[in-house]
């Protein structure tokens, strides 16, 4: 394993399990120290142990859309590890399904707040505290849902489409010192996506050109590329990582 992030520090939100933990693990494996966030301290403590303990990881519990939590995480990360070189906005929610025209306003506000506005706020916090003077790289976790339309997924897809626009705009504004990109995962085997494949995994996997569902490590490797100097001339882009599913239509 290459050590592309030796001496660097990352914040990864929503990283107590699933894709976020997979991303954090890849960064630690390549030499980074990581601050991970999620709502539950117990789950975060377990994740820190998985990542190798306090030498490698710091856990800060809180809501991703809480600006006080964001500020605390940024401060504690710099105090513990000395920098914030990398930021991965992984937190996302999809609490409602159904027609967009019938979705309660409170749900609309919450999904947009967590999936898009919070990501922007995390970038603002990291930029003011460190990246404006020292540089850095950001990856926002988007979704295939942000690239098209699907019944029942309108609100989630709209929030991710907005995040895609925000990603490109931030790349335009923060370059050349900060690069900002996004990853759009396909169907990855996580608790978040379990209802999409449980009980019929073989059938769903067969519809993918690569004949399997994704693993958190698949997304971790893509994120690591975009954060690394190997992607030094890449900014404002959306990298689709879906096993080829988008080549054969939405399912």
Q: What is the CATH number of the domain that holds 113?
A: 3.40.50.720
**Is residue 249 in some structural domain?**
no
pLDDT above 70 (res 27): yes
pTM of the model: 0.94
d(CA 78, CA 130): 9
d(CA 193, CA 97) in angstroms, rounded, equals: 13
Cα–Cα distance, 126 to 34 (Å, whole number): 14
Look at residue 161 and tell me if it is in a domain: yes
* Residue 224, pLDDT above cutoff 90: yes
Do the domain assignments include residue 230? Answer: yes
Could you give the CA distance from residue 183 to residue 61 in angstroms, rounded to a whole number? Answer: 24
Nearest to 208 by CA among 160, 241, 183, 239: 241
Q: What's the domain range around 207? A: 9-241
Residue 248 lies inside a defined structural domain of this protein: no
Query: Using CA atoms, how far apart are residues 168 and 234, in angstroms rounded to an integer?
Result: 11
25 within some domain: yes
Beta bridge partners of 181: 139
Report yes or no on 2 lying in a domain. no
Residue 196, token pair as written in the block: 């999409």
pLDDT band at 251 (very low <50, low <70, confident <90, very high): very low
* Catalytic site positions: 156
Q: How confident is the prediction for the chain on average, in pLDDT? A: 94
Sheet with 86-89, side-by-side order of all strands: 57-61, 33-38, 9-12, 86-89, 136-141, 178-185, 238-241
- H or E element at residue 36: strand 33-38
pLDDT of residue 197: 67
- The total number of structural domains in the chain stands at 1
In percent, the amount of the chain with pLDDT more than 90 equals 81
Please report where in the chains the tokens 């096993």 appear, as a residue.
Answer: 243
Other C-beta atoms lying within 10 Å of the C-beta of residue 45 = 14
Alpha-carbon Rg for the chain, nearest whole angstrom, is 17
Asked if the structure places residue 4 within a domain, the reply is: no
Strand, helix or coil at 141? strand
State the Cα–Cα distance between residues 137 and 225, nearest whole angstrom. Answer: 11
CB 93 within 8 A of CB 25: no
Say what the pLDDT of residue 201 is.
Answer: 75
The answer to whether 27 touches 216, Cβ cutoff 8 Å, is: no
CA-based end-to-end distance of the chain: 35
| Gap between the Cα atoms of 126 and 73, Å rounded | 10
Two tokens at 5?
A: 């992030």
Residue with tokens 């996302």: 92
- Tokens, residue 47: 């994740």
What are 32-86's pLDDT values in tens digits? Answer: 999 999 999 999 999 999 999 999 999 999 999 999 999 999 999 999 999 999 9
């Amino acid at each position: 394993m290459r050590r592309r992030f030796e001496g660097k520090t990352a914040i990864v939100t929503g990283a107590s399990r699933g894709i976020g933990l997979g991303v954090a693990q890849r960064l630690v494996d390549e030499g980074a120290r990581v601050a991970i966030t999620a709502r539950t301290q117990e789950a975060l403590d377990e994740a820190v142990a998985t990542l190798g303990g306090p030498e490698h990881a710091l856990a800060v519990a809180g809501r991703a859309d809480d600006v006080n939590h964001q500020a605390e995480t940024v401060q504690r990360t710099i105090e513990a590890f000395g920098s914030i070189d990398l930021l991965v906005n992984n937190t996302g929610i999809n609490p409602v399904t159904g027609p967009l025209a019938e979705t309660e306003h409170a749900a609309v506000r919450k999904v947009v707040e967590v999936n898009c506005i919070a990501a922007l706020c995390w970038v603002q916090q990291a930029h003011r505290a460190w990246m404006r003077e020292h540089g850095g790289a950001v990856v926002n976790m988007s979704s295939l849902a942000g690239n098209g339309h699907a019944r029942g997924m309108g609100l989630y897809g709209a929030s991710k489409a907005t995040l895609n626009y925000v990603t490109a705009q931030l790349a335009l504004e923060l370059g050349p010192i900060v690069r900002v990109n996004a990853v759009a995962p396909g169907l990855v085997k996580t608790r978040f996506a379990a209802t999409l494949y449980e009980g019929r995994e073989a059938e769903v996997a067969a519809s993918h050109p690569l004949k399997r569902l994704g693993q958190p490590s698949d997304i971790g490797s893509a994120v690591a590329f975009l954060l690394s100097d190997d992607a030094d001339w890449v900014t404002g882009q959306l990298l689709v990582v879906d096993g080829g599913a988008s080549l054969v239509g939405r399912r």
